Amino acid sequence: MSPRHSAAEARRTRDRIVDRSVALASLEGLDGLTIGRLATDLEMSKAGILGHFGTKETLQLATLERASVLFGRLVWEPAADAPPGLRRLHAVCEAWIRYLETARDVFPGGCLFTTAAVEFDAHDGPVRTTVARLLTVWRRRLAADVRHAVAAGELAPDTDPEQLVHELTGVYLALNQSIQLLRDPAAPDRTRRALDRLFRSYAAAR
C-alpha cells in the first residue's frame, strides 16, 4: 500500500472512531467514553484506538471538535443563507429545535454540549476549556445576528445582545431537558411559543 493510501485509510479510521465517540458521548457523557467500548463497537483493538489518540483526553477533545462541526451543519448551515438579523435568527432557532428533536442518528442522547457542560463545569483543564470556548463561539454568532437586527430596526435599539442570547440559551436548555428527560412531545411547540414571546418582547416599536 502506498503512503498516500495508508494516510487516507488512517484518516478514515480516525473519522470512524470520532463519529462513534460523538454518538456515545451524547448518550453516556465524555467521561463515559472508554477505549474498550469503542474497540468493541468498531471491532478494533484497543491498541488500534489508542494509536490514533494516545490518551482519553485527546479523544474527548477530538469528539468535541467533531460535534461542533456536526452541530454547525445541522443548525447553522440550514439558516446561513437567510439575511443577517431577525430572519436568520428565526431560521437558526427553528433548525435548533429540529436538531434537538430529530438528530438521533448523530446525537442519539441529545445535545452533547449540554451533557458536557454539566459534566465539566466544576473541573479545570483542557476539556472544560474547549466546551466553554465552543459554547462562547456559538453565543457570539447569535449575538452578531441580534446586533444586525437592532441595526436594521427589527429589534428595539436598547436591546442587549448578550442578554437576549442568554435567554435564548435558557429556552434551548429547557427544550433539551423536556425532550430527553421528560419525553414531552409538546416540547417543540412550547419552545416555538416561548421564542415568539421572547422576540416580541424585544421587538422595535412600529
Q: Report pTM.
A: 0.89
Nearest to 32 by CA among 99, 112, 122: 112
Asked if 26 and 108 count as a contact pair (C-beta separation under 8 A), the reply is: yes
What are the pLDDT tens digits along the chain (206 aa)?
Answer: 555 557 788 788 899 999 999 999 999 999 999 888 899 999 998 888 888 888 899 999 999 999 999 999 999 999 999 999 999 999 999 999 999 999 888 999 999 999 999 999 999 999 999 999 999 999 999 999 999 999 999 999 999 999 999 999 999 999 999 999 999 999 999 999 999 999 999 997 65
For the residues of 86-124, what is the DSSP string, one character each? HHHHHHHHHHHHHHHHH-TTT-TTS-HHHHHHHHHTT--
CA distance 89 to 142: 7
* 3-state secondary structure (DSSP) of residue 155: strand
Opening angle at CA 140, ends 139 and 142, nearest 5: 65
Domains by residue range for the chain, with CATH: 57-202 (1.10.357.10)
